[in-house]
Structure 1
Amino acid sequence: MTILSNKVMMGGAETSNRREAAGAERLYIIGGILLIAGGMLFGDLFAILVLHQNANRIGGEMIGAVRAVSAQDTAAVLSHFTVIGSLIENRGTKVDAHVHAIDFGYLALILALVQPYVAMTDSAKRRIALLFLFGAVMLPVSVFLIHYIGTQYGPSDVLGWASVSADFGGLLVIIASALLALGLFRGLRKRKPAVSPSTADHSGGKALLVGGALLILAGFVHGAYYAAFDLSRHEASDTAILTSMIDNAVSNNLPAAEADVESYGKLAGERAVNIAAHSHIIEFGLLAILLSFLQQYIRLSPGVRRFWIGLFFAGSVILPVFVFLEIRLGLLAGGIADFGGALVLLALIAMLVGVLRQKRTSEGGLSA
């Protein structure tokens, strides 16, 4: 009787452990998808509500600075460049928040995949997952607030509390990642997973894997073309336009100086859309590859799964292509690019629903 009781208790402990391990995986998957979706939604809203207006204001302030240089009004020059600095900081913190949220989401999905190889107790895995996700949310939110909170009440003249909060969030992510790296090292030394990975249905995984590789290849080809044919020209034009702008302002040739400001804005826009198209298509490719390994955790019928995967790839192509075309087509291309981003976002939400629909098996694993 005692032996039987011990076996039952040991079996119950194994079941509990497996459930908690699966719970850690679910935390990373759900948290990762939410971080990516949140970062994408924020990026779309930023592009619609802030980005273009911000660029126009920077152009206006540069024209004001050129006129002030022509009038030899030092105070006005400093005032205009102070505003430009504030606008650049505003844009920079928004871009940083957008990028950090998405990249932390990618990292969370990767950490979900390696959980079976991490030699730790299951409760420790869950606590580390919560620590990671807390920091992964804290950092981009704090970065977003840097522009608004400033340094007025900060611990120093150059460091505000929002920056301190962002750094603390980053520290939490580093601590969680370091602990997982230690557990992964210990697990790999055993030469076998600490918990057997799920063998659930992988429908759609191959399409995501191949499609993701093709997206990355397309991004690399575009990047190579830009580096070979446009990058040097843009760098030379950057220096030439700025030099001409200053010379024309000093010589009181305001029409030419203002034309230089307009040319500089167009150059910055052309460079920005190339970089954005290049980075977005590669990031969508990486996301597709990560999602290909996570299909075992997503409970959707094959037909529904194929539909959402198709929608994901449609958006993954539409967004970077029309971002690239913004210089030629203007706001129309920007609107279509935002629509492409919305398609990717909808596909991610559908996959998140599939993860949430997943049930635990009686053995403690995860089942579709």
Structure 2
Amino acid sequence: MIMAHDEKSTNAKTGIVMIGHGEPEIFDEDVWLKGLREMFDEFRQTGLEVPPDDALPVMLMEIKDKYEAMGGKSRHAEVCRKQCELVAQHFPNYHVGIGFNEFIGPCFTEVAEEMIHEGVRHIAFVPMLQTDSTHTGEIRNKINALGLDSKEVQWIMSKPLFYRPEPTQLVINKIVEAAGKTPLEKVGVVLASHGEPDEWTRLCLENTRCKEQETAFCACVKKGLVEKGFVWDNIVQGFNEFTHPELPEAVETLADKNLRKVIVMPSFGSTDCMHVNYDIPTKAKSALVDPHVEIVCLGGWNDDPLIIKAYVELVKEALAKLFEDGDRRIQSQDT
């Protein structure tokens, strides 16, 4: 039981909406074309330069090639659904569903509206994301557009994974495992962050804290690895896009350290996806380093028990706050 309100009658009127980022499972030119145009429109609003429309066919071909390199399929949606299924096991009698923010359906707002139609009057929205970013800002705007207050539906949006300790421990565990029997002083680590344009931070677009939180997360991981015996100067942060040092640069900073192995670990994505399974390893392995140095690229966090625990705790915290605020509203109305 999470709290006193968690009786069956209350649970049955409470929804938990898990929100995945969204990525088409197979290459769909129309879906990607629409998504790229929407993304470029957002970039233009922030003053970022974007490719001209006549570059879109080339970009679509590159995306198609990435799918082919991944075996024709992105596992992102599949893993998100599995994560939701495992989280739901901790909340029996609640309405638990999953939707996506972009590219694929169902849209999370549709999932919420269906719950409301079925009688749900409390909803906890749970972004399946690592940081407070433009994506969490978009999600909050879409929730506000639902007009839930006018429908007498109380809601809350949980914090992202950054605020839980479990992802830090998971990343440390995976890197230690990948190091294997290689002497730790001969192991380099690149923590692969997503990155966001500095323009977004300066404009405070959707209150983004992505870059700041990614750096803080990597610092916590770095400290934990040093406590395990890794060398401080052999652990660096690199970015997949928008921000320097980009991944090839980050790997190359370790080139003169006489290492045997460099481990590249995603520090932002909780699922296998195009960034994790194609972009990061491709960019990392393009670095100009001694060919005798083994570059090991690790996958997504997926359904690791530590990630499921992180989501469960975020949901518990959100539900506690939701009902606490609800009680205050009722008390205010009674006085």
Q: Between Structure 1 and Structure 2, which shows a larger proportion of helix residues?
A: 1
Q: Fold match, TM over 0.5?
A: no
Normalising by the smaller structure, the TM-score range is under 0.3
TM-score between both structures, scaled by the size of structure 1: 0.24
TM-score between both structures, scaled by the size of structure 2: 0.26
Q: Between Structure 1 and Structure 2, which shows a larger proportion of strand residues?
A: 2
